[in-house]
């Protein structure tokens, strides 16, 4: 026993250990292996030898062996139906029909749900002209598997081929009781039409559209009636379909087909009514084909007005969908209103405007109201210019002004448009009352300016003065208002009053554009030829600011005064400015002053004066400085230009030392260059001798 186990152990082959597990350089795929096997014909077996049967005994022996093989195959695997079918077909080839039937019946006992089995069985009976047997098989098949349409098709086809129309109709009726798919109904209808049974076909259609109530089936029913010249019946079918689907399940294809039918019957008014009825009830996304066909119809049979109507209605429909989706999309309302205004009655336009202005912005913030308020503006302009209804225009303006939350924000344009409208209607008191109310409720610069401009046009200067006073009480820092007020007084010839206004203005603690105000005041005094006053103004301004432009303007004023000693006074101001600006950190401004002074001396000064200014001109020096990033870290170095003025260099010994160091470095470089020249000459002479 031990010896046998040891021998068994020795017989177990050892598994070879793979030492090198790296992939081979040349990889062989499964596809390549198969291709090589085919090329070498490794799997080809020689064909079996042909057997010649010479007598009946040999034939019986052959049949026995063959049947035994088939039976063995079936016994091994009963569920493989292909084995049963091959067995039956072999028996059929030997004209053993009864044996073949027996095999098919045995196979049906194994798997009666196999469709191929039933088809092969029935096909065998039909091939051998066994009609009643075939009918029996088809009856059993459709009874056992009534949902397999192929059985019904084959059965009806067989009956029709045999000329048994009544039998085929009976099979179709049995089939229709199961309410099969649409194609089955079409087959039944086509069957009846082949035998000119139109009334029967109509009856089948009636049942068909109730079992399969799709739009396309109603259209097929109507076209069937139209094809057979039953136009009244076809119209009735379309009308029933429209009623059947109602408003909830409307489909554009039904109406397009209905309209085309009426168009073929030359009923153009009916076509128009159908299209308009459908377009009023179907949403824009689902009515693209409808619009397209309506447009084509109008182009073919309508006039220009009809074509325009369809285009307008299409666009109107589109805008309606947009404003329904988002009522606060004011741009869509603007487009819609523009379309309606171009081609609609006044009542329709008013209705759309009322719908639009009803969509008040939900948030009381001005940025949300900016587009909305233009709906009111356009509404008022339409009532005034197009509808010619001043009373409604007034109501629109008043309603809009009541709607705006003036405590949070206002729209000056609405108040001004309303006032201008009242002036156009020659109602000046109404206009003044509106503007007065606006200034009382929500004072704004635009409102004051508009009111003042109105009174100026009416030449009511006393009212303008009062308004300017109110305006300046509201915004004393507004330099433009002070200037305009003073200019008004100047135009009216009240110079002292204008001067007093300027004095009040420059005494204000806070101004938005003081430089503009001072310039205007100085220009005013220059126009009045008040040289001393102008000079005093410049002095006052220089006490407040030492800006270089003020000094240059002062010097040019003195030069342009045209009096004796104007050049000397101008030079004196330049000198004073230069002394004052020595401590100025902005060296560019100081350079600007010196350049202006030099251009002055070039024109009016002597040579010595020019040299004197030239000596004051700075030297441009390139320097480096550290740059810091936003987070405070070092960002490297940058180069910049600085200006060193001679006067500053004299006062700062460090600058003198720096200049001397630069001079020394320059001299050193020149000396080194001079020493290198002789050495170079010696090297050249030696190389030439070699």
Q: Same domain, yes or no, for 639 and 511?
A: yes
pLDDT band at 275 (very low <50, low <70, confident <90, very high): confident
Q: Same domain, yes or no, for 583 and 655?
A: yes
The pLDDT tens digits for 531-584 are: 667 667 666 666 666 676 766 676 666 667 666 666 667 777 667 766 766 666
Q: Which of 425, 441, 475 is the last residue of a domain?
A: 475
Range of the domain at 415: 360-475
The pLDDT tens digits for 128-141 are: 888 999 999 999 99
How far from the centroid of its chain's Cα atoms is residue 586's Cα? 51
pLDDT band at 654 (very low <50, low <70, confident <90, very high): low
Indicate whether 607 belongs to any domain: yes
Task: Calculate mean pLDDT across residues 259-264.
Answer: 83
Indicate whether 282 belongs to any domain: no
The counts of H helices and E strands in the chain are: 36, 2
Indicate whether 605 belongs to any domain: yes
DSSP structural state of residue 291: H
Q: Same domain, yes or no, for 499 and 468?
A: no
Which of residues 218 and 688 earns the better pLDDT score? 218
Exposed/middle/buried for residue 11 (C-beta within 10 Å: 0-12, 13-18, 19+): exposed
Task: Calculate mean pLDDT across residues 369-378.
Answer: 84
Neighbours of 322 (CB within 10 A): 17
Given a cut of 70, whether residue 294 has pLDDT beyond it is no
The residues facing 642 across adjacent strands are 621
Given a cut of 60, whether residue 30 has pLDDT beyond it is yes
- Rounded Cα gap, residues 208 and 221, in angstroms: 9
Q: Give the residue among 157, 218, 216 at the shortest CA–CA distance from 184.
A: 157
Neighbours of 685 (CB within 10 A): 8
Q: Same domain, yes or no, for 491 and 606?
A: yes
What pLDDT sits at residue 687?
42
**The CATH number of the domain where 454 resides is what?**
1.25.40
Exposed/middle/buried for residue 406 (C-beta within 10 Å: 0-12, 13-18, 19+): middle
What is the percentage of the chain residues whose pLDDT exceeds 70? 64
Indicate whether 83 belongs to any domain: no
Indicate whether 631 belongs to any domain: yes
What pLDDT sits at residue 7?
43
Q: Tokens at residue 429, please?
A: 């008191």
Torsion of CA 87, 93, 96, 99, to 10 degrees: 20
Q: Tokens at residue 34, please?
A: 């198969």
What pLDDT sits at residue 6?
44
Domain count, the chain: 2
DSSP structural state of residue 581: G
When mean pLDDT is compared across 101-105, 201-205, 458-462, the lowest value belongs to 458-462
Average pLDDT taken over every residue of the chain: 76
Q: Same domain, yes or no, for 572 and 532?
A: yes
Q: Which of 431, 451, 475 is the last residue of a domain?
A: 475
Q: Same domain, yes or no, for 528 and 607?
A: yes
- Rounded Cα gap, residues 625 and 639, in angstroms: 7
Given a cut of 70, whether residue 12 has pLDDT beyond it is no
Which of residues 95 and 513 earns the better pLDDT score? 95
- Rounded Cα gap, residues 317 and 659, in angstroms: 85
Indicate whether 70 belongs to any domain: no
The pLDDT tens digits for 380-439 are: 888 888 888 888 888 888 888 788 777 777 777 777 787 888 878 887 777 778 767 776
Q: Same domain, yes or no, for 588 and 643?
A: yes
Given a cut of 50, whether residue 1 has pLDDT beyond it is no
Q: Same domain, yes or no, for 582 and 611?
A: yes
The pLDDT tens digits for 299-347 are: 666 555 555 555 566 677 677 777 787 888 888 887 878 877 777 677 8
Q: Same domain, yes or no, for 560 and 587?
A: yes
Q: Same domain, yes or no, for 595 and 539?
A: yes
| Residues recorded for the chain | 690
Strand ranges inside 496-618, DSSP E: none
Cβ 380 vs Cβ 400: under 8 Å: yes
Read off the pTM. 0.46
Phi/psi region, residue 575 (left: phi>0; alpha: psi -120 to 50; beta: rest), is alpha
Cβ 208 vs Cβ 217: under 8 Å: yes
Task: Calculate mean pLDDT across residues 70-94.
Answer: 90
Write down the residue that tokens 């800006």 correspond to.
Answer: 547
Given a cut of 70, whether residue 651 has pLDDT beyond it is no
- Rounded Cα gap, residues 321 and 325, in angstroms: 6
How far from the centroid of its chain's Cα atoms is residue 312's Cα? 25
Given a cut of 90, whether residue 255 has pLDDT beyond it is no
Q: Same domain, yes or no, for 435 and 520?
A: no
């Amino acid at each position: 026993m031990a010896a046998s186990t040891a021998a068994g152990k020795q017989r177990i082959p050892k598994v070879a250990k793979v030492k090198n597990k790296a992939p081979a350089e040349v990889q062989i795929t499964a596809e390549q292996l198969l291709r090589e096997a085919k090329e070498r014909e490794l799997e080809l077996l020689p064909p079996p030898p042909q057997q010649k049967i010479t007598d009946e005994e040999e034939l019986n022996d052959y049949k026995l062996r063959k049947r035994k093989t088939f039976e063995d195959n079936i016994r091994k695997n009963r569920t493989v139906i292909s084995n049963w079918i091959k067995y039956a077909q072999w028996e059929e080839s030997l004209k053993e029909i009864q044996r073949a039937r027996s095999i098919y019946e045995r196979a049906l006992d194994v798997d009666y749900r196999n469709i191929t089995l039933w088809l092969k069985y029935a096909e065998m009976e039909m091939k051998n002209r066994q009609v009643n047997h075939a009918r029996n098989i088809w009856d059993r098949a459709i009874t056992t598997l009534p949902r397999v349409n192929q059985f019904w098709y084959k059965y009806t086809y067989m009956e029709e081929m045999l000329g048994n129309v009544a039998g085929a109709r009976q099979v179709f009726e049995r089939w229709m009781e199961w309410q099969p798919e649409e194609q089955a109904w079409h087959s039944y209808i086509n069957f009846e039409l082949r035998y000119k049974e139109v009334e029967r076909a109509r009856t089948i259609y009636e049942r068909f559209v109730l079992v399969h109530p799709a739009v396309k089936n109603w259209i097929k029913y109507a076209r069937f009636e139209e094809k057979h010249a039953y136009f009244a019946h076809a119209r009735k079918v379309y009308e029933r379909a429209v009623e059947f689907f109602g408003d909830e399940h409307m489909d554009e294809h039904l109406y397009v087909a209905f309209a085309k039918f009426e168009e073929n019957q030359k009923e153009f008014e009916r076509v128009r009514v159908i299209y308009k009825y459908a377009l009023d009830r179907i949403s824009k996304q689902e009515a693209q084909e409808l619009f397209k066909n309506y447009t084509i119809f109008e182009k073919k049979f309508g006039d220009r007005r009809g074509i325009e109507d369809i285009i307008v209605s299409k666009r109107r429909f589109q805008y309606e969908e947009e404003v329904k989706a988002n009522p606060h999309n004011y741009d869509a309302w603007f487009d819609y209103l523009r379309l309606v205004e171009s081609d609609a009655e006044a009542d329709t336009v008013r209705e759309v405007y009322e719908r639009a202005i009803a969509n008040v912005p939900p948030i009381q913030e001005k940025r949300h109201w900016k587009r909305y308020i233009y709906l009111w503006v356009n509404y008022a302009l339409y009532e005034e210019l197009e509808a010619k209804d001043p009373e409604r225009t007034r109501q629109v303006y008043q309603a809009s002004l009541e709607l705006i939350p003036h405590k949070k924000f206002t729209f000056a344009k609405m108040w001004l448009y309303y006032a201008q409208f009242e002036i156009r209607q020659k109602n000046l008191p109404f206009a003044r009352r509106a503007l007065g109310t606006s200034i009382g409720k929500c004072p704004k610069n635009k409102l004051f300016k508009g009111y003042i401009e109105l009174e100026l046009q009416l030449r009511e200067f006393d009212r303008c003065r009062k308004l300017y006073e109110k305006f300046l009480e509201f915004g004393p820092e507004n330099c433009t208002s002070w200037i305009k007020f003073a200019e008004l007084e100047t135009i009216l010839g009240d110079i002292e009053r204008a001067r007093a206004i300027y004095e009040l203005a420059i005494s204000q603690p806070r101004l938005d554009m003081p430089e503009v105000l001072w310039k205007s005041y100085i220009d005013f005094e220059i126009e009045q030829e008040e040289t001393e006053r102008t000079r005093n103004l410049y002095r006052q301004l220089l006490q407040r600011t030492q800006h270089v432009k003020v000094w240059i303007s002062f010097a040019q004023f003195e030069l342009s005064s045209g009096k004796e000693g104007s050049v000397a006074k101008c030079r004196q101001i330049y000198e004073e400015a230069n002394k004052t600006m020595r401590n100025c950190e902005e060296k560019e401004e100081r350079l600007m002053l010196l350049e202006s002074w030099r251009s002055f001396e070039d024109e009016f000064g002597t040579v010595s004066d020019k040299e004197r200014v030239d000596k004051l001109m700075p030297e441009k020096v390139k320097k480096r400085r550290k740059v810091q990033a936003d987070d405070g870290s070092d960002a490297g170095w940058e180069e910049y230009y600085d200006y060193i003025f001679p006067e500053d260099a004299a006062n700062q010994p460090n600058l003198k030392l720096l200049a001397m160091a630069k001079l020394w470095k320059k001299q050193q470089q020149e000396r080194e260059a001079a020493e290198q020249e002789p050495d170079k000459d010696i090297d050249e002479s030696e190389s030439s001798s070699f």
